[in-house]
Structure 1
């Protein structure tokens, strides 16, 4: 018993003395701690390397920019280094606890080219070049240093995106119009990207849990919290704005062969064949930290190509991984409106000794004038933490759509955001939410937005209803003469679930009224604009139409489309009643069901005629059809800008599949014909790295049944002077019809790959384009009026535009060569028609133009 009591007493004494011993040890080992911040942005900086000078003792700052080092070796200096910033060294007092904070300054040096001077100029070569040998090792180890190397991975991600008007002068800031908006302006260091004065206009934050599984492949993001500056929905489509900004500022993965930037793809400096396009130089070695790093600088061989320049830090621990990278672009690169661009990437070591992306910061400033004047500055910061590997979760976690929004993601409190952000939001950024809310209460701002909406979108808002679009108020054509029109639609202020649209028009020549009425009801308790859509729509239209004219993103009554080449007097009066049901799924699969009752009456020079049994010509005043339809569309990973007038897809590398079916029912509500029509379409953009990109659309159709020519496929012709990507620009209206066809359209943009080699064209930043379209088709004997006098006859060849024909054994073909990026927004094509030149009125050559906004 006595030994036990003795042991107990000794344990009590030990426990009592342990804190004292620890305190003594701590006292003997002074601690150096502090915070690292960006001197311009006033933000803390995570993952910055802090170390004692001349040693490998160091650490990276945490997500709040904090560090804490124990000075066991009586070190006298401490150093902070981070890619893209100037290294700072400070003195410390040995044997003393200290708080030392660092304010880092950006290193704005640019790497146009590394020059080695000697008596004889040495030509750059890949052979026996240690920098090239090093980059080949990085390329060889790419696979093991990517997320796809793991069977499972999960992590938390924080994203922040800020947009501001940039490079604003004091004169601009002090204009009378901004008298009430002075609280919005932000001052910063004049050498920072964006200039001295900014006007922040947009802020978005997102917190998410992310899950990856190799087999079967799954990558899913669960958005737990989302916060966004909200503008008045009558003026700005907030969801569309968010989608567009996120498309412009995509994730940057340096390990990909090609990196998406704005609407282009730039070759990565560690792409498989990057030594063929880049020059590499070893510019520094960092042996005073673990792992040892080599600074590898790179610059394009051709400074006009879609390539980066900058530097990266490569680990020398056998992984040959990128620990940090800074990417910029040369000022000569053919990117529209881009003044400055900088991407900083940081990587952190995993438990298995490899590296994952821990932070990326992409900054871009845009401006019409590259060197002066106001512009737009955007910054996207992504921080990744809690990275875990090879820890599988339940099967349900990986299933479902690629992105899921938590039900309460948009309603998180300010306290939640303060606690959950990996770093604090600086005061200027934190005020943006409140400032924009305050801004929208100022009458002068409302008036300005009202005018901007009328000019840009074409609508004048009156609260629950808006009038427009303005470009359709007046137009003219040979059938109707002058055509005044007035229309409008309801706004979400009236209802988010009900949507009404209408217009009325009058032709001064045909002296007939035209009108349109539409009513839509949302079935998923969301606006009909919101994705995914689910709605029912009923509409009736009595109006004119040109057979075979298919317009992209413009109204048919657009004033500018009143100007057309050749005769333009082949028209229809249409009476169309429609019932449509549309349902979209979150994986971008959608289907639509429709009912259509359609009456067609010829107008202008168009006539519906057939032969009676006695051989007499019979005029048919109207043909009636009743049609049921179904459509299935799949657009994986599709992104789009949802405006108020139409949805505009944002082109990407993923294909879009569409399958349509129409069933004509004779005898149903006056329908005169039975038929079935199947149409399939595939569109896809192919990115070809330095050679630009190609847009391809392939389509095929087959119609079963006997029908008159207005119900055949009337191929999309274009007699306007505007270049249409998916219409035949030198085909006349209603020139060709088919009951079966296949077509392909190819449009390739070289992005200046060839023009950049010509000094003048390079300076103008013009871009070369080629386009080709081909159409195979025909009309079966049962649908050819030459074989059946009861069918409506094809219109004859009277007039300068000729008549209507069936395609023969050869396809219709046309092609063009174009020059794009004229004044940064105009494309002009010289178009040539290759076949069917003997048709009356068939043009062989033409010049067409289109407005196309690209970066």
Structure 2
């Protein structure tokens, strides 16, 4: 008895209390690193690590424990004084705060001296000083549904998973909100980077993917890798995210854009660091708020927690948060060891739910300054053949860190949710809207956008098409469609067979044939990839109609990254439904015979240069993600052949340059420069028709105050320039800054000409006697005007983007050729108002 009393007394005298826990965001469950946790009334505490976990050891306890961190409300909880060990988690509510409310400076801000040192030492600390680096990576991605209102929970689909919701509400904690996972993935990969020339490559070694509506395939496998898309560098002037350029707090404009406060010093993995808090001077700009930790000796960035709030001019987003912890390499430069980012997608309506996209990336085993040969980087993203690894035992050893209780529960829940019938229906509808096709296992039916149209030539036009997927074949791609008009009663059709020769160098051999009704100046090769605009041109009056029969065999290949070539042999038959003729022997003048149709046989050679272009593979399709900073150049040469069923020998030269670039804090611009030259005399439809726009819809690639086929050139050069100020001006007008409008401006300029020989070619001569058409059923004849070589066509535009987050309204003024008639004799419109609907962040 005496011994027991002695042991108890000893424990209370020399005991050490241990308190552990995790601090997370109450709304989304995201861990909060470097939050301060302490015992109230004592100078005893700790800071949370990158995972939001803290550990406090103390010989004495007080009544309560508290936690505080930047931009969150301070919280306290009662302690159990009898327990030697206890776990106390915190869920913190966000709170807006401006540094101006808490900081008063006398003299220069002490943070400025530190930031100048960061700038001075940027060159030796930035990863750009390395010639190459590589590392092993583990990433985890999760997509959740959050902000579940009571009304939303009453919906039929949610009632079927009420049990799962209850489990997550319990797991969220007393102060947190439940989030329902719909997708979770784990990925092991190897990432490689080479500085000069700049190349990236990520090899996906193993994947563990589970999600609602997710099908097995390379597309998802590549997206979950993470390092290609989330390799943020805060030393750069801008941090790219969701197609936006967010001003970096450590870039060159750190002083002009941000307010700074020297908060504290702390130990980050053995590095004593200054803690610097930063706040934007204008929260409507694309800027961060957060805290950066700077090493006191090397002045390198060791960790940063940066958040973009819903006040910023970004659509559909409540919050973007990036947390990054860096590790110093043997060469002195720092690489990201851990990165976590979160996108909190807002609810579209009051009674809908929001979405959360969370990703965690852990990197280790850094190897620097050992670049691979250039050919190694040809495929930016590569998925290993045996990448799928369902064995749980493998992942227990392979993970850099263990899964949380929420991760384990999420995996079980997804298995249940994705088999709910109504969920399957919603997934199929969403896939049809996104891809345009109703997908089956090996093929898809569509696209729905061109499935029907109504015009004066065809009446009601119906069209049905299909294409095969990689489940059908990983080498062969089949496409086909049938169309029919209730008025012209002509069957239209098309088919294509492609064979993938190489995925590494993306080489495709194909053959296709089609017969369809087209329009002058609105053919697919002129409109390009704007499928929505092309679909709209099939409605209405349908002027300049002609039937075209086309056959083509082509080969595309990319021998090295960023450089691709295309060769094609094509035959086309032009059969117009308007009064048309051209002189077959123009040297005979009016005595020349004429034809009202032609056959065109030609071959095409095209070279495309797109430096640093990134792309991913979606089954048998390659999806380009754009080329950053560098312009994309396309050079094309075509040669017409008269001997192979063609009516003309000719040469055609074309060039196109496109670039999108940042103009500092003024916003983002893009331009397209095009030029063409045909030294041969040809009928007007074979020259360069300039793309007009008679619809109410804005078209970036068109001249929006020009009629269809109003001008035709045999040589030309054009510029289409667009600039988006991204809220730069509207963000500073108090009355409208909450609307998040964005001022836009554009200018389109065209220099062109048409030789007299080409004009004479289209003049009257011996009339064509053609029994193919009944008198009176043809549309009127068109004029094929050329531009004055000394007078450019010019239009300027201005407008507002982001109206209600989806509308764009732009006015255009035509500044030249104000008395020029359209091909059908209509007066020009000096002013046009165009609108468009598009979703952008």
Q: When the two structures are superposed, what TM-score results if normalisation uses the length of structure 1?
A: 0.80
CA-CA distance at 1:379 after TM superposition: 1.0
Residue 144 of structure 1 is aligned with which of 124, 135, 141?
Answer: 124
SS at match of 2:396: helix
Please give the alpha-carbon distance, in whole angstroms, between the structure 2 residues aligned to 1:556 and 1:649: 19
1:335 partner SS: coil
Choose from 477, 486, 499 the match for 2:455.
477
Q: 1:745 deviation in Å?
A: 1.3
- Give 1:702's aligned residue: 677
After the TM superposition, which residues 756-771 of structure 1 pair with which residues of structure 2 at under 5 Å, given as runs? 756-771=731-746
Equivalent residue in structure 1 for 2:481, among 488, 499, 503: 503
Change in 2 beyond 3 A, CA 1:759/1:249: farther
1:302 aligns with 2:288: no
| TM alignment of 1:9-408, pairs within 5 A | 37-38=22-23, 103=89, 108-116=94-102, 128-150=108-130, 153-182=133-162, 185=165, 187=168, 196-212=177-193, 220-229=201-210, 239=219, 243=223, 250-286=230-266, 291-317=271-297, 319-349=298-328, 355-369=334-348, 373-388=352-367, 392=370, 401-408=379-386
Shift of the 57–661 alpha-carbon distance from structure 1 to 2, 3 Å rule, reads: same
Range with bigger deviation, 393-402 or 719-728: 393-402
Cα 1:272–1:457 change in 2 (3 A) is closer
CA distance, structure 2, for counterparts of residue 682 and residue 55 of structure 1: 64
After the TM superposition, which of the residue ranges 828-837 and 239-248 deviates more from structure 2?
239-248
Equivalent residue number for residue 824 of structure 1 = 805
Quick one: structure 1 residues 627 and 790, their matched pair in 2 at CA, closer, same or farther if it must change by over 3 Å?
A: farther
| Aligned mate of 2:789, from 786, 805, 808 | 808
Query: Are 2:635 and 2:656, in contact at CA under 8 Å, matched by a contact in 1?
Result: yes
State the distance in 2 between where 1:751 and 1:64 align: 35
Q: Which secondary structure does the structure 1 equivalent of 2:114 belong to?
A: helix
> What's the CA shift for 1:753?
0.6
Measured in 2, the distance between the counterparts of 1:598 and 1:367 equals 50
Answer yes or no: is the 8 Å Cα contact 1:42–1:426 preserved in 2: no
Residue 597 of structure 1 corresponds to 571
Q: Evaluate the alpha carbon distance shift between residue 558 and residue 712 of structure 1 in structure 2; reply closer, same or farther with a 3 A threshold.
A: closer
- C-alpha change, 1:268 and 1:499, in structure 2 (3 Å) is same
Q: How is 1:329-728 mapped onto 2 (pairs within 5 angstroms)?
A: 329-349=308-328, 355-369=334-348, 373-388=352-367, 392=370, 401-411=379-389, 413-430=391-408, 432=410, 436=414, 439-461=417-439, 464-524=442-502, 533-549=506-522, 550-551=526-527, 553=529, 555=531, 560-562=536-538, 568-584=542-558, 587-608=561-582, 613=588, 615=590, 619-639=594-614, 649-651=624-626, 652-668=628-644, 670-728=645-703
Measure the CA separation in 1 of the matches of 2:834 and 2:89. 56
| In 2, Cα distance between equivalents of 1:649 and 1:394 | 24
How far apart are 1:499 and its partner, in Å?
Answer: 3.3
Aligned residues: 799
Change (3 A) 1:839 1:352: closer
- Residue 678 (structure 1) shift: 2.5
What 5-or-longer segments of structure 1 have no aligned partner? 1-28
Offset, 1:366? 0.9
Structure 2 unaligned spans of 5+? 1-13, 769-778, 822-826
Larger CA deviation: 380-389 vs 826-835: 380-389
Alignment of 1:779 with 2:757, yes or no, is no
In structure 2, the residue corresponding to 1:573 is in which secondary structure?
strand
Distance 1:482 1:389, change over 3 A: closer
Query: Structure 1 residue 847: deviation in Å?
Result: 0.9
The CA deviation string for residues 149-182 of structure 1, in whole angstroms up to 9 with x for no partner, is 3455443222222111221234433533344445
> Are the structure 2 counterparts of residues 615 and 801 from structure 1 closer, same or farther at C-alpha, using a change threshold of 3 Å?
closer
**CA drift at 1:693:** 0.6
Any conservation in 1 of the 2:305–2:322 contact (CA below 8 Å)? Answer: yes
Task: Write the deviation string for residues 515-542 of structure 1: whole angstroms up to 9, x where unpaired.
Answer: 2223333345x8xxxx864433322211
Q: CA deviation at 1:699?
A: 1.9
CA shift, 1:673, in A, is 1.4
Partners of 1:399 and 1:448 lie apart in 2 by: 39
Separation of aligned partners in 1, 2:410 and 2:686: 56
- Distance in 2 separating the partners of 1:292 and 1:506: 74
The residue that corresponds to 1:19 in the other structure is: none
CA offsets 1:678-721 (integer angstroms, 9 cap, x no match): 22222111012422111111222223433222211222222222
Distance 2:266 2:727 in 1: 39
- SS of equivalent residue, structure 2 residue 362: strand
Distance 1:108 1:492 in 2: 46
More deviation, 373-382/506-515: 506-515
2:47 and 2:569 map into 1 onto residues whose CA distance is 68
Post-superposition offset of 1:267 = 1.0
| Residue 596 of structure 1, CA deviation | 0.8
Kindly indicate whether the alpha-carbon contact (under 8 Å) linking 1:746 and 1:773 is maintained by their aligned counterparts in 2.
yes
Deviations, residues 42-83 of structure 1 (Å, cap 9, x unaligned):
9999999999999999999799979999x9xx9999999998
Question: Using a 3 Å threshold, how does the CA distance of structure 1 residues 608 and 30 change in structure 2: closer, same or farther?
Answer: farther
Cα distance change, pair 355–540 in 1 and its aligned pair in 2 (3 A): closer
Report the Cα distance in structure 2 between the residues aligned to 1:471 and 1:225, rounded to whole angstroms. 37
CA distance in 2, matches of 1:374, 1:750: 31
CA contact (8 A) 2:497 2:510 kept: yes
CA drift of 1:327 comes to: 1.2
Does residue 853 of the first structure (1) align with residue 831 of the second (2)? no
CA distance in 2: counterparts of 1:485 and 1:541, whole angstroms: 13
Match of 2:776 in 1: none
Q: Distance in 1 between matches of 2:709 and 2:443?
A: 38
Is the 1:57–1:289 contact (alpha carbons within 8 Å) kept by the matching residues of 2? no
Distance in 2 of aligned mates of 1:188 and 1:654: 48
Deviation of the 1:411 alpha carbon = 4.3
- CA positional deviation for 1:597: 0.9
Alignment correspondent of 2:773: none
2:23–2:32 contact (8 Å) kept in structure 1: yes
Q: Distance in 2 between matches of 1:196 and 1:824?
A: 27
Partners of 1:223 and 1:406 within 8 A in 2: yes
| Cα distance in 2 for residues equivalent to 1:825 and 1:230 | 29
Under a length normalisation based on structure 2, what TM-score does the superposition of the two structures give? 0.81
* CA distance 1:39–1:412, shift in 2 (3 Å): same
Counterpart in 2 of 1:11?
none
Task: Indicate the SS of the match to 2:695.
Answer: coil
Inter-CA distance 401–83: structure 2 relative to 1 (3 Å threshold)? farther
Aligned Cα root-mean-square deviation (Å): 4.7
Deviates more, 1:815-824 or 1:588-597: 588-597
Does the 8 A contact of 2:521 with 2:690 survive in 1? yes
Give the SS at the match of 1:197: coil
Q: Is the 8 A contact 1:816 1:830 kept in 2?
A: yes
Offset of 1:36 from its aligned partner? 6.4
On the 8 A contact 1:210/1:222 being kept in 2, the answer is yes
